[in-house]
Structure 1
């Protein structure tokens, strides 16, 4: 398997998150219209100009919440040109830039205990100098392990199973 490009994406947001994001975006648009057109909720109360800036502040906060509920993270690897890019997308708009791909020593699948007592599993790329970064995370061990195996094969590096604390094992690919 000789891949030249790898794309790791969170995919699509669940429907409930999309609906919450839509509600925040709608509220932000309404509040921004109120700010720019000077519409006041209580016109007879004699509100001062600071009211308009509070409306603007709330609109920005709603837009930020909408972004949090609708953004999707993807990581692109261009193995031929030895580059990678972390990209965050909201609908058709994406932010991210290509960087030089550092030397990757190995890939690990790691189990992380969350504050609520459940576990999350991560695929980490380990670089020279004992540095790492997470490229994938989910609550399903089988999916995470498959992602780790596929990534290690594509990058032609070893895979470390670190899902059991203090019992790390190298996986034959």
Structure 2
């Protein structure tokens, strides 16, 4: 059994890093300009806030080009930590979960008519922890399978509406071993 694992979104494409750097650089220059011309009066403070508006907009675009999500799992201590990464900076806190029940894989329709497959960990009868989203069924299902194996709990395939089925994990082990995963 693996005691720690990380489920992570795929890294951002390399072309997005320079674009994010441009947004962050422009925001820094605007902030420096706003600080340089600051006046210690009510009108000066209002002018400073107006100069910060484009800075905040540029920072949000930069974050949009660098934000990734990952889930750190400490199985030994029954802890999960969802983290949001903006470059090297990580935000997130540990959450303790006891009484694991099962892992489910299901799909959600998107606006464009495609589907996003989600992997959830269910615990305490009706609570769930959203672990992973992927547009590829096979990848999402393999993540769900691996986690259910690590936690030694059941796996539910809920990708067909109103036709949920429990997965025979021994059959899946054989499929993975043979390399014939549908």
Bucket of the pairwise TM-score, normalised by the shorter protein: 0.7 to 0.9
SS at match of 2:24: helix
Residue pairs, 1:17-96, within 5 angstroms: 17-38=16-37, 49=44, 50-96=46-92
Moved over 6 A (4+): none
Cα distance in 2 for partners of 1:168, 1:78 equals 29
Q: How many Å apart are 1:52 and its aligned residue?
A: 3.2
Shift in Å, 1:115: 1.5
Cα displacement string for residues 81-109 of structure 1 (whole angstroms, at most 9, x for unaligned residues):
22121111112211112221232210011
Q: Structure 1-normalised TM-score?
A: 0.86
The worse-fitting range, judged by mean Cα deviation, of 13-22 and 56-65 is 13-22
Give unpaired runs (5+ residues) of structure 1.
Answer: 40-47
d(CA) in 1 for partners of 2:95, 2:161: 33
Alignment-derived partner of residue 152 in structure 1: 148
**1:130 deviation in Å?**
1.3
* Cα distance in structure 2, aligned partners of 1:131 and 1:91: 31
Structure 1 stretch displaced more, 105-114 or 85-94: 85-94
Backbone CA RMSD of aligned residues = 1.7
* TM-score (structure 2 length as normaliser): 0.82
The aligned length equals: 164
What runs of 5+ residues in structure 2 fail to find an aligned partner?
A: 170-182
